[in-house]
Amino acid sequence: MFQVKVTDSMFVAHSLPDESFGPAQNLHGVTYMIDLLISSKTLTDKNIVIDIDLASKILSEIVQKYNYKNLDDLDEFKGMLTTTEFMARQIVNHFIELAKNNSVDISKLFSIKVTLNESHIAAASYEKNLFYCSYISK
């Protein structure tokens, strides 16, 4: 399996209005260190998984959308619990959408995984298996 990893970071504010989240029910900030891992069983005709610069630019575009924002104020998240796991999935799905818009052949990729590191002791991830999805859709 071939893999390419790009990283970035973003600072967001949000609340998790459910008593199961204890003090995190209240508005608070979090700095996410983002690891985006793109996997493929094969290389392109250029011997790459994906252009690293393009992957970095796409991730940066996603970061710009959320960085220094209160997620509670964004229409797309109204009524949702914007947990770290949820945000990891949002980033993966947004990355796929933007990659397609940049002529990346998603069907050649195996998976895309985002890990959001909240601190040195806590992180959450979401991985979307693209190989399985493209295989099923054929």
* Domain total in the chain: 1
Instruction: Give the alpha-carbon dihedral of 119, 34, 114, 95, to 10 degrees.
Output: 150
Which one-letter amino acid corresponds to residue 90?
A: Q
What's the pLDDT tens digit per position in 10-30? 999 999 999 999 999 999 999
Q: DSSP assignment, residue 26? A: S
- In terms of Cβ atoms closer than 10 Å to its own Cβ (0-12, 13-18, 19+), residue 74 is middle
What's the pLDDT tens digit per position in 82-99? 999 999 999 999 999 999
Q: Which domain holds residue 47?
A: 2-137
Confidence of residue 132 (pLDDT cuts 50, 70, 90): low
What phi, psi does 39 have (nearest 5°)? Answer: -115, 145
Instruction: Give the alpha-carbon dihedral of 18, 24, 28, 29, to 10 degrees.
Output: -110
State the pLDDT at residue 118: 94
Where residue 68 falls (left for φ over 0; alpha for ψ -120 to 50; beta otherwise) is: left
Q: What is the CATH number of the domain that holds 16?
A: 3.30.479.10
**pTM across the whole model:** 0.91
State the pLDDT at residue 136: 44
State the pLDDT at residue 133: 52
